[in-house]
Amino acid sequence: MELRLYDTLSRDKRAFVPLDASNVRMYVCGPTVYDFAHIGNARPVIVFDVLFRLLRHLYGEAHVKYVRNITDVDDKINDRAARDFPGLALNEAIRKVTEETGRQFHADVDALGCLRPSVEPRATEHIAEMREIIERLVKGGFAYVAEDHVLFSPQAMNAANSSLPRYGTLSKRSLDEMIAGARVDVAPYKRDATDFVLWKPSKPGEPSWASPAGIKAEGRPGWHIECSAMAWKHLGEHFDIHGGGIDLVFPHHENEVAQSCCAFRRERMANYWMHNGFLQVEGEKMSKSLGNFITIHELLKDWPGEVLRLNMLKTHYRSPIDWTMKSLEESAKTLDDWYRVAADVEPGKPAASVIEPLLDDLNTPLAIAAMHGLRGGDVSALAGSLRLLGFLSESAAQWEGRKQQASGVDATEVERLIAERTAARSRKDFGESDRIRDLLAAMGVAIKDSKEGTTWEIAR
Ligand code: AMP
Ligand code: ZN
């Protein structure tokens, strides 16, 4: 069976044919590093990690290049730096904010079982490429300089008589409607309301670089140009897959396409545009004001990263997810069980019943259902399938031990009580044996009697 992926641009599921099977190339928009990542931000990271793993499985580890950027130039970063480190020079404060947030992001996504991408470019290290693209756009008549800004003109793009895509195609918006619906209080330096910023002047004290297009004052890039530049540097003018959350389709990805296609005179930037659906919490949009804003960092205090990972993958990546405590508890139970039966087993080849749904536009809920099916049968195929999907990073004993530690249960005390209960049972004192079982249950310990003796685990 072949891999099929849903492409936001063509609005259909198509066979995936890489431009070069020995170098399959994927770009995913990464975090803006100014604060802890929330559980919604974890969704694209986990979803595209699964795709990365699947592509490596299909084309070979050495033949897949995955680029996920770090946005370290942004107004939100500047504001956070000024607020958190008022005593420091702004540039130094910004470095502190981006370094600390970047470190935290890595700790979070490592714990979620995500492989590091092949390259993690930082915007601040690609200013030269941004300037180069901007110069090309100005020369080509797609962008212009006004009051030390450089602006991209979607109308110039659509007026060009060439094989360029039309602005608005990715997000299925018509430029005419955008023009008609534009706000009245448009920045005075814009020729048209729909023009967007490629480069702008920096305020005093803000990070700044030599400007392109003959502008004397120093400045800094807009957000969209950052991704066009980093994708170009690491993946070339035209590559296979570009991903991110559904909220990025417009304007971010629409503008990336416009910049890259006009600068390189290409019909396409990426052949497949993939977007994950949004995550909400207990039926509500996640927001700071509703108080249901959860960071990955906080969740990891209560749940192993693999539980969060499984919980994310139980929903197809294009559907919205409702993130609930109930579903987390179920995911934890499932993983407890899989760890018990499969973690210490020699992993076999991933099962065809698991790979096939993954090939169908990453149908992870069906793949998970197939793994439930393997549980009572081919556990070595279950182990192999789980590993392919980024699970079973620990041994069964480590997993159980972590659960015990997190629960605060004293294992020695539990063993002592179980020995007492065994003694009571052998002298047929069932009243005492039941009392001890209830005591253990109250401590959060579940016991199981079999011919081999009594085993126990932390009840979820
Ligand atoms: P941001 O830092 O806001 O640019 O977001 C980083 C990534 O997380 C982007 O791909 C967003 O589309 C994605 N994202 C942000 N919030 C959510 C959410 N609630 N559900 C799913 N994805 C999200
Ligand atoms: Zn981007």
| Tens of pLDDT, residues 62-72 | 999 999 999 99
Residue 372 makes CB contacts below 8 A (sequence gap 6+) with 334
Confidence of residue 185 (pLDDT cuts 50, 70, 90): confident
Residue closest to 63 by CA, chosen among 240, 273, 274: 240
CATH top class, domain 4-276: alpha beta
- Per-residue model confidence (pLDDT) at position 410: 87
The answer to whether the CB of 31 is under 6 A from ligand 1 is yes
Q: Among all ligands shown, which has an atom nearest to the Cα of 43?
A: 1
In this structure, are residues 391 and 309 in contact, taking their beta carbons and an 8 Å threshold?
yes
Tokens representing 32 are 């803006």
Confidence of residue 298 (pLDDT cuts 50, 70, 90): very high
Assess whether pLDDT exceeds 80 at residue 289.
no
> How many angstroms does the Cα of residue 40 sit away from the middle of ligand 1?
6
- Per-residue model confidence (pLDDT) at position 265: 96
At residue 324, φ and ψ (nearest 5 deg) are -125, 155
Locate tokens 């409702």: which residue? 322
The protein residue whose alpha carbon is closest to atom 11 in ligand 1 is 245
The answer to whether the CB of 253 is under 6 A from ligand 1 is no
- Per-residue model confidence (pLDDT) at position 439: 93
- Per-residue model confidence (pLDDT) at position 357: 98
- Per-residue model confidence (pLDDT) at position 302: 92
Q: Among all ligands shown, which has an atom nearest to the Cα of 322?
A: 1
| Segments of the chain assigned to CATH 3.40.50.620 | 4-276
| Burial (CB count within 10 angstroms: exposed 0-12, middle 13-18, buried 19+), residue 275 | buried
pLDDT tens for each residue of 339-370: 999 999 999 999 999 999 999 999 999 999 99
Rounded average pLDDT over 242-248: 97
The protein residue whose alpha carbon is closest to atom 16 in ligand 1 is 40
Locate the ligand 1 atom nearest the alpha carbon of residue 38 and give its number.
16
The answer to whether the CB of 32 is under 6 A from ligand 1 is yes
Q: Among all ligands shown, which has an atom nearest to the Cα of 224?
A: 2
Assess whether pLDDT exceeds 90 at residue 405.
no
Locate the ligand 1 atom nearest the alpha carbon of residue 41 and give its number.
8
Beta bridge partners, 360, equal 4
Locate the ligand 1 atom nearest the alpha carbon of residue 37 and give its number.
2
Label the pairing between strands 270-276 and 279-281.
Answer: unpaired
Assess whether pLDDT exceeds 90 at residue 397.
yes
The protein residue whose alpha carbon is closest to atom 17 in ligand 1 is 40
- Per-residue model confidence (pLDDT) at position 451: 87
- Per-residue model confidence (pLDDT) at position 86: 92
> Hey, CA dihedral for 385, 40, 48, 67, is it positive or negative?
negative
The answer to whether the CB of 247 is under 6 A from ligand 1 is yes
Ion ligand 2 residues within 5 Å by Cβ:
29, 227
Q: Alpha-carbon distance 322 to 315, whole Å? A: 9
Assess whether pLDDT exceeds 80 at residue 104.
yes
- Per-residue model confidence (pLDDT) at position 241: 98
Locate the ligand 1 atom nearest the alpha carbon of residue 277 and give its number.
21
Q: Alpha-carbon distance 290 to 116, whole Å? A: 33
